[in-house]
Structures are given as C-alpha cells and as structure tokens.
Amino acid sequence: MRAKLRLLVGVVLVTALAFPVGHALAAGKRYPGTLTATPNVLHAGDSFTVTGCGYDPSLGNVVIGFTGGSWGSPLDANGCFTIPDIPALSGDTLPVGTYDVSAYQYVHKRWVETGETTVTVVS
C-alpha cells in the first residue's frame, strides 16, 4: 500500500512539474507576459519597436518572429525586453494588411510561443 501511495505521489509531482509551463502555454495561449508593438499602425518600410514584460527569465532569451524574420533579446531580471527598429519589410515591400508579431522562448526542448501582438500596414 505504501509503495502504491509513493508511486502515485511521484507521478502527480512529475506531472505537476512537467505540465504547467510548456503545455499550458502551448495549449491555452495564455501568456505570462505582455507584448506590444509601437507604433502598431505603420507604412511598409517603416520600423517599429517591440517591448515585452513579465516573461520568465529562467527560460532564457526571447525571440521575436515577424514576416519571416527573427530578432532576439535577453531579458532583464523582471523578464522585460525591448527590440527597436524592426523593419516592416518582407523582401522588397510589405503589402497592406495586419501581421502577427510573436514572441518565443525555449520550453522543454522546443520553441514555444509565449506572446503575441499585431501590426497593421496601411497604404
């Protein structure tokens, strides 16, 4: 009986430690931090700044993905970062539309989206 109880407690602990960060972030799209693009309405070729705060520094750097490009940044002790001068380009120009800007961190041996926002390109 004690062996079964210890096994059950062990399984519960391992599951509790392994599940929350990676699976909750991947499945629920509930991000611990904020992600903001400024300005979020711009013209093709303009640049914008991405800021974020509340990210988990123990997961390492944040990588921002936007229209096929990526930019990385270390986090400060509060889990905050700023990446300036991201160009609104994809090849030579970026058509009018709304585009995803995503933050990723390396969680449980894979890159997981840990934040998202959008920018809108106008004519």
Burial of 105 (0-12, 13-18, 19+ CB in 10 A): buried
pLDDT confidence of residue 21? 41
Q: Which helix (H) or strand (E) holds 60?
A: none
Sign of the torsion angle spanned by Cα atoms 47, 54, 76, 104: negative
Structural domains of the chain in order of their starting residue, each with its CATH number: 31-122 (2.60.40.1930)
CA 91, 69, 118, 28 torsion-angle sign: positive
Identify which of 65, 8, 77, 5 has the alpha carbon closest to the alpha carbon of residue 37.
65
Q: How far lies 10's CA from each of 3, 4, 6, 44, 48, in Å?
A: 10, 10, 6, 54, 48
How does pLDDT run along the chain (123 residues), one tens digit per residue? 444 334 333 333 333 333 334 444 444 456 778 999 999 999 988 999 999 999 999 988 999 999 889 999 999 999 999 999 999 886 667 899 999 999 999 988 899 999 999 999 998
